[in-house]
Amino acid sequence: SVQDKNALHLYSVNGKYLGSETLKEEVSDMCVTGEYIVTGSLQGFLSIRDLYSLSLSISPLAMRLPIHCISVTKEYSHILVGLEDGKLIIVGVGKPAEV
């Protein structure tokens, strides 16, 4: 975060710069899972991005409170989101029939 500008930068394992994406929110936690990056922001948005293109996979989900931590279950079936007020939100991943 430099001068109210936030960005997500992507580098290869060898340190080669692959790209970046400017973010509107201030990221408070991030989790890399399989082919996705899950981010939570202080503005209360949960975002899921493609690991290789950094583009949003779905529209950000509004949690209405700052997100303090994110975790993804071992089976990649749920995202656990810890909010500022101590609540734990569980978000199902996949198609509605699968959740």
CATH architecture of the domain 2-92 equals Beta Barrel (2.40)
State pLDDT tens for residues 2-16: 456 899 999 999 999
For residue 98, what pLDDT is reported?
A: 53
38: exposed, middle or buried (Cβ count in 10 Å: 0-12, 13-18, 19+):
buried
- For 9, 27, 79, the CA distances from 65, given in Å and listed in that order, are 25, 13, 16
Prediction pTM value: 0.85
- pLDDT class of 94 with cuts at 50, 70, 90: confident
